[in-house]
């Protein structure tokens, strides 16, 4: 056996740790750029104690927005970039910190649609403080950016882009509305299941995923119904963190392979897309494995997932998929058509999904017909 597991992020976790952000930021320099979501309200008291340039990210980040953010950070002479927000704010801050020191056009560095130019210079120090529990972006080495021109999302990726510090304070998530809790939480669950069955999984990834799936399965419903359930929020913040570490080391799979072109062309929250696709992506993988690769270790992984989420020792992979389908129904996860996606769009989506970087880590290659069946079922 041979494997690698890398992270260079210092992780600070716990209720109340948000209060340490100003002091932590100053250890990297006097002048900070603070990147927030659409509303900087939750971050206001923290920002007021920093000598900060603020930059709001109204939606999921684009190449254009990152270009503007990097220009602002340079003009203001910022020493450090701090993101306080969900995955969009964290990915935007991560990309701004990298482009500020590497210059050029963000698109040149993008995978798949860009030139994939390497990030050569050390980015500005970057601190991530998540206010949702889902993306795990506080510990990943990539930033997902939309390109309006190409109608897809693609990653800016480099080991140098790992945040220097992930400051994870579950209290920051107490105010999230139920729908956001559901979508981001189901993204976390997807990001624990896909690395576990990935072709690149390893024993450290397994440990994080199996533990994280249990936490999410026990806590997500509670966090959805009672936003200030301290224990449930803590469990979801941990599940999200574990998912981020797992995906950064083992990649994702078919669900994220689809989330990339869908999120690039239609205005839908990433977590909502993942949630809509998750049961069908799992079902297609299980069916394809049973048909073409009986005895593949991923089949036992799907059964393990089922035993954890249902709490039943005799649960089958199908029972696990059914449990997730029921959870999505309870949370009113919208079907893909709600975002304006139509049946006529699907062949083009399949073509782009087949090329997405996440698809490469799927436990086995799926045929175009199998991919079409996944997205059709989620429509």
Q: In the window 102-121, what residues touch Zn ion (CB under 5 A)?
A: none
CB count, 10 Å around CB of 67? 17
Judge whether 89 and 129 are in contact, CB under 8 Å. Answer: no
- Distance of closest approach, residue 167 Cβ to Zn ion, in angstroms: 21
Find, among 194, 213, 205, the residue nearest to 359 by Cα.
194
228 C-beta neighbours (distance < 10 Å), count: 11
| Choice between 187 and 345, CB closer to Zn ion | 187
Q: How far apart are CB 83 and Zn ion at their closest, in Å?
A: 17
Pairing of strands 142-147, 152-157: antiparallel
Site size toward Zn ion, by CB under 5 A: 1
Nearest approach, Cβ of residue 230 and Zn ion (Å)? 25
Q: How far is the CB of 162 from Zn ion (least distance, A)?
A: 17
Question: Cβ closer to Zn ion: 169 or 187?
Answer: 187
CA dihedral 148, 98, 195, 337 (to 10 degrees): -20
Give the footprint of Zn ion on residues 185-204 (CB under 5 A).
187
Site string for Zn ion, 254-293 (x = CB under 5 A): ----------------------------------------
Strand ranges for 295-378 from DSSP E: none
- Token digits of residue 144: 């997902």
Shortest approach of Zn ion to residue 274 CB, angstroms? Answer: 5
Which structure tokens are listed for 133? 């529990």
| Strand bridging mode 126-130 / 80-85 | parallel
CA 43, CA 84: separation in Å to the nearest integer? 7
| CB contact at 8 A, 177 and 228 | no
Which residue lies nearer to Zn ion by CB, 140 or 304? 140
User: Is the alpha carbon torsion for 107, 109, 111, 115 positive or negative?
Assistant: positive
Q: Which residues are paired to 167 by β-bridges?
A: 12
Q: How far is the CB of 191 from Zn ion (least distance, A)?
A: 5
Which residue, 170 or 251, is less far from Zn ion as judged by CB?
251
User: In whole angstroms, how close is the CB of 48 to Zn ion at the nearest point?
Assistant: 32
Q: Which residue is nearest to Zn ion (CB)?
A: 187
Site string for Zn ion, 158-187 (x = CB under 5 A): -----------------------------x
d(CA 172, CA 13): 12
Of 53 and 187, CB closest to Zn ion: 187
**What's the CA gap between 296 and 109, in Å, rounded?**
36
Nearest-approach distance from CB 163 to Zn ion, in angstroms: 17
Residue 64 DSSP SS3: helix
Interaction of residue 60 with Zn ion, rule CB under 5 A: no
List contacts with Zn ion (CB under 5 A): 187
């Amino acid at each position: 056996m041979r494997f690698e597991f890398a992270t260079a992020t210092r992780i600070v976790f716990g209720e109340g740790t948000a209060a340490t952000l100003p002091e932590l930021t100053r250890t990297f320099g006097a002048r900070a750029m603070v990147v927030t979501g659409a509303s900087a309200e939750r971050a206001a008291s923290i920002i007021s104690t920093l000598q900060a340039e603020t930059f709001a990210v109204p939606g999921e980040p684009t190449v254009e927005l990152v270009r503007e953010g990097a220009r602002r950070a340079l003009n203001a002479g910022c020493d450090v970039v701090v993101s306080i927000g969900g995955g969009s704010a964290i990915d935007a801050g991560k990309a701004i910190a990298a482009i500020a020191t590497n210059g050029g056009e963000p698109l040149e560095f993008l995978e798949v649609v860009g030139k994939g130019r390497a990030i050569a210079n050390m980015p500005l120090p970057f601190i991530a403080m998540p206010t949702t529990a889902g993306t795990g972006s506080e510990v990943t080495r990539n930033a997902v950016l939309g390109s309006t021109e190409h109608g897809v999302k693609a990653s800016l990726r480099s080991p140098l882009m790992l945040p220097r510090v992930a400051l994870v304070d579950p209290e920051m998530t107490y105010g999230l509305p139920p729908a956001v809790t559901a979508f981001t939480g189901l993204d976390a669950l997807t990001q624990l299941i896909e690395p576990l069955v990935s072709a690149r999984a390893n024993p450290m990834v397994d440990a994080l995923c199996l533990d994280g799936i249990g936490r999410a399965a026990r806590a997500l419903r509670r966090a959805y119904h009672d936003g200030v359930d301290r224990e449930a929020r803590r469990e979801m913040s941990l599940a999200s963190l574990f998912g981020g570490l797992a995906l950064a080391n083992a990649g994702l799979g078919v669900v994220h392979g689809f989330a990339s072109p869908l999120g690039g062309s239609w205005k839908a929250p990433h977590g909502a897309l993942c949630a809509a696709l998750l049961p069908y992506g799992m079902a297609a993988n299980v069916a394809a494995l049973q048909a073409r690769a009986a005895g593949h270790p991923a089949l036992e992984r799907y059964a393990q997932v089922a035993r954890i989420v249902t709490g039943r020792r005799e649960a089958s992979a199908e029972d696990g998929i059914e449990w997730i389908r029921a959870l999505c129904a309870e949370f009113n996860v919208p079907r893909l058509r709600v975002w304006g996606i139509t049946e006529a769009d699907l062949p083009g989506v399949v073509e782009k999904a087949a090329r997405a970087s996440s698809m490469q880590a799927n436990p086995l290659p799926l045929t175009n017909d199998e991919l079409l069946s996944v997205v059709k079922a989620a429509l």
